[in-house]
Amino acid sequence: MQERLSTGRIDTVSKLIAASPHTLFQAFIDPDSIIKWLPPEGMRGEVALFEPHVGGMYRLILYYEKKEQITGKTTIDSDVSEGTFVDVVPDMKIVMAGAFDSEDPDLKGVMTMTW
């Protein structure tokens, strides 16, 4: 994972989900669960590596379903992201730091996601 200086950009999204903290936490740390809900519309996913503990690594591959309309970040039809689990507090918080595998300098750099 290559790093570059932060742009200072911060995006925040919030959503109220009618589920217990434990149920939500499990949806984030179970690779079979996360790959069902994480890919955006028009994509499907694959978990290549998933170690949901502090210092653990992950590698997720997202494939575009309509290849003729999109150019992926990693290959013509895929986006690959990999990184580490920075913090994991059961039933409370997950912090992941990751980056896209891409030759495009605008897509390089580490994203920190706090769930």
Answering whether pTM is above 0.85, one says: no
Walking along the chain (115 residues) 10 residues at a time, the average pLDDT comes out as 57 88 95 93 93 97 81 80 96 93 79 90
What does the pLDDT read at residue 75? 76
What does the pLDDT read at residue 83? 95
What does the pLDDT read at residue 66? 80
- Tokens for 102, please give them: 């891409």
Residue holding tokens 């290849």? 67
What does the pLDDT read at residue 109? 80
CA 94 to CA 30: how far, in whole Å? 12
Give the 3-state secondary structure of residue 34: helix
What does the pLDDT read at residue 76? 77
Q: Where are the beta strands (DSSP E) in 1-115?
A: 43-50, 57-64, 78-89, 93-100, 111-114
CATH homologous superfamily for the domain 21-114? START domain (3.30.530.20)
3-state helix, strand, coil in the chain (%, to 5): 20, 35, 45
What does the pLDDT read at residue 3? 46
Q: Count CA within 13 A, CB hemisphere, residue 54.
A: 5
